[in-house]
Structure 1
Amino acid sequence: MPVPTTAEPTDSPLTASGLGRRLEAITFPDTAATAAAVRGAALETGLALVRDLRLTEREFQKLVHGLGPTVDNHYRTGRSDLFRLEGRNDPGAVINGRGTLPLHTDGLLLRQQVDLIILYAADVQGPDGTGGTLVCDQLAAWRDLPEHLREILETREFQYRGRDSSHFPDGVQNAWVSVPVHRDFGRVRSLNISLPFPAEADAGWEVRVKGLDESATQSFFAELGAWLHTPEYCYTHTWRTGDLLVIDNQRTLHGRTSLADARTRVLYRGQVVVPVA
């Protein structure tokens, strides 16, 4: 199995803010070395990218377990060491569908700690340009945030409601749940938020700001979303078969652009916790 031999970055960051590094993949004898390399790079820079790997489902699961303890999964679909994101056309399936996913934090609705998200492209076919993964350097974006946006993030309460019944358990559907805007699991204090879905899209969840009317809420999220998508802070990854992304869920927000009908994209996803010494 081709794996990187070192956690040292091989080229420049993926954004101007310093997010992410790409590691070279060459032949190496064991999965443990792969896990150590991508884990170190992801925790240091927020995102590790490796291209041209060839992993079976079993090899992917072994890699996930090598990165840390898996998250206790309470969703209706998939497992923490292997969730197949297939871009389905099933009615009502949003998380595993073909539409847009806004920038968000994994584990938010269930208040679960998710430290690393592992994504591997098992099969990608068709024209480039759709079905990309967005990763935002939220720490840098939050640091530079205009004060009127920061004030809302520091003083207001965010509430969420799950809509994708194929994925979310009953406890977060059809009722608004308050979720803290910030989190700190011992490594870093960061934002614990999701942007709303576009008005015309099938929504996997809803979000509102307690105390703001609908017009003020829409204006806030439009301005916040534009800031977080600024190229200085946000990297868009165009997938090809064999790509591996390891994302630090505490340092970033991530999302998805919609898939065109002619595009096939099958990703394996894993989620792990990184114990704090």
Structure 2
Amino acid sequence: MVTKVDMRQLATRARCSRGSSTYLDTLTHCGFAVLEPDDTAQLSLEDIMAPLGAPVAYGYGTKLVQQQRRDTDNSQFRTGAIPMHVDGYFNATPVSYVGLECLEAPDSGGETLIASNAAFFAAAPVELVEMLRGIDIEYWSKVSGFYAERAGGNPVVAPIQVDPVTGGDALCVGLDYPEDPSRNFGAAVVGYTRAESTALFARLADLLHRPDVMYTHRWQVGQVLIMDNRRVVHARAAYAADAPRKLVRISVA
């Protein structure tokens, strides 16, 4: 029997102070933590991420500034929506935890969307879960330095894996986003037609965006968001081209 988990309750429990180490327990319980600035001495993003693993080096270094950039094919530096995914499928580097610090926040749009594994499996129909157990998903990326240059070809990954904390099921997927013809990434179910893959991803997206499964994080300056990349999937809402949105990111493995 699947334990009932509601993301609205998890999102309330996920909030803690940026001035203490209580976020480590919060991460274990919720799979993510929102660290709020307060009057105490504030931990730096580097100090927050240090107990969780070694920094991952990307082409931009281990500390990545996420904001708009001109003439880029990398969705992290554009303003369009990014669909639900776990890191490591649409990029070429394994990631355990993702840490984001807000330096500038738009008045609307640009929210980070988080769906809990536990909440997903509490809400998902049994037949959908069984379908996911029987498939693999292939991922591709056009971004320079990623899968296009891998001699072994694109990664092929089972969408249900093991939650490292509970030992239960973990949803590990990246959804395709055909609505964006300029996207630099994609996914397809092995052995499915394009229409069949699109239909399954649409069904997953609908479920992952339910209020009992997904938390919408509207950014405020000074907040830090930590996500366990093995226990939640995340996305980004689109925002206006002239909106200020600047996050600093450190990922660890």
Query: Normalising by the residue count of structure 2, what TM-score does the alignment of the two structures yield?
Result: 0.83
Structure 1 Cα separation of the partners of residues 38 and 244 of structure 2: 18
What are the superposed Cα offsets for residues 94-142 of structure 1, whole Å, 9 maximum, x if unpaired?
Answer: 1222111111111235675433211100222x4x221110000122212
Q: Is the 8 A contact 2:114 2:215 kept in 1?
A: yes
Q: Which moved more, 1:146-155 or 1:244-253?
A: 146-155
**Moved >6 Å (runs of 4+):** none
Paired residue for 1:51, among 32, 36, 51?
Answer: 36
Structure 1 regions of 5+ residues with no counterpart? 1-12, 29-33
Structure 1 Cα separation of the partners of residues 222 and 38 of structure 2: 5
Paired residue for 2:223, among 243, 246, 249?
Answer: 243
Structure 2 Cα separation of the partners of residues 99 and 247 of structure 1: 21
SS of corresponding position for 1:95: helix
Paired residue for 1:180, among 158, 163, 167?
Answer: 158
Structure 2 Cα separation of the partners of residues 122 and 266 of structure 1: 5
Q: Which position in structure 2 is the counterpart of 1:23?
A: 16
Q: Is the 8 A contact 2:7 2:115 kept in 1?
A: no
Structure 2 Cα separation of the partners of residues 186 and 247 of structure 1: 14
SS of corresponding position for 1:232: coil
SS of corresponding position for 2:46: helix
Paired residue for 1:99, among 75, 80, 95?
Answer: 80
The alpha-carbon deviation at position 15 of structure 1 amounts to 2.9
Alignment of 1:68-107 (within 5 A): 68-73=52-57, 75-79=58-62, 82-107=63-88
What are the superposed Cα offsets for residues 145-204 of structure 1, whole Å, 9 maximum, x if unpaired?
Answer: 123422331001110111222x63643599533123233374344122111124235323
Structure 2 Cα separation of the partners of residues 219 and 183 of structure 1: 22
The alpha-carbon deviation at position 71 of structure 1 amounts to 4.4
Q: Which position in structure 2 is the counterpart of 1:6?
A: none
1:161 aligns with 2:144: no
Residues 186 and 15 of structure 1: CA distance in aligned 2, closer, same or farther (over 3 Å): closer
Identify which of structures 1 and 2 has the higher relative contact order when contacts are C-alpha pairs closer than 8 Å and 6+ apart: 2
SS of corresponding position for 1:102: strand
Aligned AA (1:39): L
Q: Which moved more, 1:154-163 or 1:103-112?
A: 103-112
Alignment of 1:1-277 (within 5 A): 15-16=7-8, 18-19=10-11, 20-24=13-17, 34=20, 36-52=21-37, 59-65=44-50, 67-73=51-57, 75-79=58-62, 82-109=63-90, 113-124=94-105, 126=106, 128-165=107-144, 168=146, 170-172=148-150, 175-184=153-162, 186-187=164-165, 188=167, 189-273=169-253
- Give the aligned length: 243
Query: Normalising by the residue count of structure 1, what TM-score does the alignment of the two structures yield?
Result: 0.77
Q: Is the 8 A contact 1:88 1:98 kept in 2?
A: no
Aligned AA (2:99): I
Structure 2 Cα separation of the partners of residues 156 and 17 of structure 1: 31
Structure 2 Cα separation of the partners of residues 160 and 131 of structure 1: 24
Structure 2 Cα separation of the partners of residues 159 and 235 of structure 1: 27
Q: Is the 8 A contact 2:147 2:153 kept in 1?
A: no
Q: Which moved more, 1:37-46 or 1:104-113?
A: 104-113
Structure 2 Cα separation of the partners of residues 72 and 271 of structure 1: 6
**Percentage identity across aligned positions?**
22
Structure 1 Cα separation of the partners of residues 152 and 113 of structure 2: 28
Structure 2 Cα separation of the partners of residues 22 and 62 of structure 1: 18
SS of corresponding position for 1:16: helix
Structure 2 Cα separation of the partners of residues 14 and 153 of structure 1: 21
Structure 2 regions of 5+ residues with no counterpart? none
Structure 2 Cα separation of the partners of residues 103 and 173 of structure 1: 27
Aligned AA (1:38): Y
Structure 2 Cα separation of the partners of residues 139 and 172 of structure 1: 33
